[in-house]
Amino acid sequence: MTAYIIRRLFSTLVVMAVVAFVVFSLLYLTPGDPAAIIAGDIATSEDIQRIHQRLGLDDPFLVRFGRWVGALAHGDLGTSIFTNLPVTQLIGQRVEPTLSLTLCTLVVAIAVAVPLGVVAAAKAGTWFDRAVMAFSVLGFSMPVFVLAYILILTLSVRLDWLPVQGYRSFHEGFWPWLRHLILPSIALGTVYVALIARMTRASMLDVLAQDYVRTAQAKGLAPARVLLGHALKNAAVPIMTIIGIGVALLISGAIVTETVFALPGIGRLTVDAILRRDYPIIQGVTLLFSAVYVLVNLAVDLSYAFFDPRIRYQ
């Protein structure tokens, strides 16, 4: 197991290096001049040239890339072109709303989707099963921003139950914090619930058709014990896989959700940076999201051995 973890961590470093190079290359080739945006509409070509020289935007690609990698090796993600603040500081200021949103969505989605999938598999062919499948198709097909605006219109504007936009820190109280996260979590989590519920149902149906499950049922074990103690644990590997893959949906969906609900998180920071061509912020956030996704999938791979003792890593 230790050797496997070391190999995976090394491969993670390789993946991150490739991601860093690709991100830097794409931003280098992207149309748009941050110096012109900083200088403003009435700036002269001389003003833009001075900003180019000050920011080092005229240096060759390899020189800029080498300088960025050298700073990255010391934990420095660079400095924002517009605010002149360290990227790590800007990310640190925005991490709480994004972390709160993703964790709430993840916990609620798993808590809702797995029981839905299990019950749907146990009642295959019934109206409940068909309802879960219809919800899965609809939830996975509907864009996050469309559902977000529907929720805002119904629960916020018309019924006035929940706030439309904004964020309250957890330190200001649990209920104000949770109240501002309910709508964003529902909007972001619906597609995740649909994905996990569908996979849980399919995996459970496959396991319920196995001989050892029928043997357990023939012995007179309680249906709940058969479902949870025998079937669900053996169906957990594909479910954990789809949960890990779905983290990418959370990361991409968080950007849209934070924009719609005006949450001051990393997603909003990314959108603002893209609009202003603030390359250091875009690079830093992309590396952060990539690292989180890779580490989550590593944790998912390691969890396989817990759910299925037959799996052993050498």
The tokens for 306 are: 């817990």
What pLDDT score was predicted for residue 300?
A: 76
What is the rounded average pLDDT for all residues in the chain?
Answer: 79
Cα torsion 237, 240, 242, 245 to 10°: value is -130
Is residue 197 within 8 A of residue 259, CB to CB? The reply is no
What are the pLDDT digits (tens) for 211-231? 777 777 677 667 777 777 667
Give the three-class secondary structure for 147.
helix
What are the pLDDT digits (tens) for 82-109? 777 888 888 888 888 888 888 888 888 8
What are the pLDDT digits (tens) for 277-305? 777 888 888 888 888 888 887 777 777 66
What pLDDT score was predicted for residue 169?
A: 81
What pLDDT score was predicted for residue 269?
A: 86
What are the pLDDT digits (tens) for 31-77? 666 666 666 666 666 666 776 666 666 667 777 777 777 877 777 77
**When comparing pLDDT for 199 and 24, which is higher?**
199
Contacts of 145-153 with CB under 8 Å at 24 or more apart are 145/256, 145/260, 147/186, 147/187, 147/190, 148/183, 148/184, 148/187, 148/256, 148/257, 148/260, 148/261, 149/260, 151/183, 151/186, 151/187, 152/183, 152/260, 152/261
What pLDDT score was predicted for residue 309?
A: 59
- Look at residues 298, 288, 252, 313 and name the one whose alpha carbon lies nearest to residue 9: 298
Q: What proportion of the chain, given as a percentage, has pLDDT over 90?
A: 0
* Domains (range + CATH), the chain: 96-274 (1.10.3720.10)
What pLDDT score was predicted for residue 58?
A: 66
Contacts of 63-71 with CB under 8 Å at 24 or more apart are 64/24, 64/28, 65/21, 65/24, 65/28, 68/24, 68/283, 69/20
- Look at residues 34, 17, 14, 25 and name the one whose alpha carbon lies nearest to residue 69: 17
What pLDDT score was predicted for residue 207?
A: 79
The pLDDT confidence band at residue 161, using thresholds 50, 70 and 90, is confident
Does residue 11 carry a pLDDT above 70?
A: yes
Q: CA 92, 96, 100: angle at the middle one, nearest 5? A: 150
Mean pLDDT comparison of 214-223, 245-254, 256-265, highest-scoring range? 256-265
Give the three-class secondary structure for 42.
coil
Q: What is the mean pLDDT of residues 105-127?
A: 86
- Name every residue whose Cβ is closer than 8 Å to that of residue 273 and which is 6 or more positions away in sequence: 80, 281, 282, 285
The pLDDT confidence band at residue 166, using thresholds 50, 70 and 90, is confident
217 class by beta-carbon count within 10 Å (0-12 exposed, 13-18 middle, 19+ buried)? middle
Q: What is the mean pLDDT of residues 4-23?
A: 78
Rounded Cα gap, residues 222 and 244, in angstroms: 31
Cα torsion 292, 293, 299, 300 to 10°: value is 160
What is the amino acid identity at position 249? L
Rounded Cα gap, residues 79 and 67, in angstroms: 13
What is the amino acid identity at position 91? I
Total H helices, total E strands in the chain? 15, 0
**When comparing pLDDT for 51 and 130, which is higher?**
130
Of 2-11, 131-140, 177-186, 256-265, the range with the lowest mean pLDDT is 2-11
Tell whether the torsion through CA atoms of 93, 246, 115 and 136 is positive or negative.
Answer: positive
- Compute CA distances 192 → 151, 180, 238, whole Å: 17, 20, 15
